[in-house]
Amino acid sequence: MTDPGQTAALLVEAAAGIARSVKARTVVVSIDALPDRCEPPEGSLLLARRPSDLRRAESLDPPPEHILEIPEVELDRLGQVKLAALVGVSRRLLDLEDTVVFLTGPYRGLIDSMVILHLGSEYELLHATDQPTIAEHIKRAVFQRALDLALSLGAHGREGRRVGALLVLGDIGEVQAKSEQMILNPFQGYPEKNRNILDQRMTETIREYAQLDGAILIRGNGVIESAGTRLLASSRHPIEAGLGARHAAAAGITDSTRSIALTVSESDGVVRIWRAGKLVASLEPGTRG
């Protein structure tokens, strides 16, 4: 049987030549997936999930901008690639015009796969027709924080059980005009500084209120406007069979506003991202051990 470390090292060695051949912008690899004493191709974008990854990155001495911190959530191989692409594009480390070589493997395992993507053909998230980029009306840090929260809910749920959730970001005035409160708004009356998702102290509060029926509405600067909010808009675009009311609401509100919506499926923990009425990315948790 082939040694996993040897396989990973061979893929790392091959990645540099393949990246040159396909004129790729960079190679993207998780630090914890690199075998011991194996260095990534020069100029690689390194993914760090844990503090130990950051410590190892220091020994590799890459430029600081080449280290990309991502959530520590269990995703399958393709999910890891999608997450790296989404976060990389949202931070402007990658561009939709880029071709990128991704080295990936099982969660917390060594590299065993290579994926080559032209990002523009795979992701519409930052390039929807008649839609501004995230940076114009939703802070990139806010998008990533919301994505972190959604992925955590999808992977871990709440107190050991699966929960569904719907987060809507940006264009808050238009979104509120197409919504109504199902319950008294639990965030009403609090100072804005005390209800911003960028504040790590808000994590448990958001996880708690995400379980309510309806959506959590979040301004582009991260301030939470409401929870338990019913979305009234409908989409012109059909959604995939089997997706329920939460997903239909996400499609509808993003079709009629400039918002972005993130849904967490209660049944399987899949995180889906919606823009301009369409599903633009799905991130599926890995199998629970």
Tens of pLDDT, residue by residue over 189-247, are 999 999 999 999 999 999 899 888 999 999 999 999 999 999 999 888 788 887 888 99
Which helix or strand (DSSP H or E) is residue 27 part of?
strand 26-30
Of 233 and 2, the structure prediction assigns the larger pLDDT to 233
Q: Are 264 and 153 in contact (CB under 8 A)?
A: yes
**Residue where a domain terminates, one of 69, 95, 122:** 122
Does residue 127 fall inside a structural domain?
no
Same-domain status, 59 and 108: yes
Same-domain status, 168 and 230: yes
Same-domain status, 181 and 220: yes
Q: How many domains does the chain have?
A: 2
**Residue where a domain terminates, one of 122, 149, 172:** 122
Does residue 128 fall inside a structural domain?
no
Which helix or strand (DSSP H or E) is residue 68 part of?
strand 67-69
CA distance 159 to 156: 8
What pLDDT shows up at residue 121?
Answer: 67
Same-domain status, 141 and 260: yes
Q: Are 162 and 271 in contact (CB under 8 A)?
A: no
Same-domain status, 109 and 17: yes
Chain centroid to CA 224: how far? 19
Does residue 289 fall inside a structural domain?
no
Tens of pLDDT, residue by residue over 88-106, are 877 788 888 899 999 988 8
Same-domain status, 23 and 64: yes
Same-domain status, 144 and 248: yes
119 closest CA partner among 147, 150, 93, 153: 93
Mean pLDDT of 64-83: 82
67 closest CA partner among 79, 82, 50, 81: 50
Does residue 129 fall inside a structural domain?
no
Q: In terms of residue numbers, what domain contains 88?
A: 4-122
Does residue 273 fall inside a structural domain?
yes
Does residue 12 fall inside a structural domain?
yes
Q: Are 246 and 164 in contact (CB under 8 A)?
A: yes
The CATH number of the domain where 276 resides is what?
3.40.1700.10
Same-domain status, 110 and 159: no
The CATH number of the domain where 98 resides is what?
3.40.1380.20
What pLDDT shows up at residue 132?
Answer: 47
Same-domain status, 143 and 259: yes
Same-domain status, 91 and 146: no
CA distance 286 to 77: 8
Same-domain status, 164 and 117: no
Same-domain status, 76 and 196: no
pLDDT(127) > 70: no
Of 69 and 215, the structure prediction assigns the larger pLDDT to 215
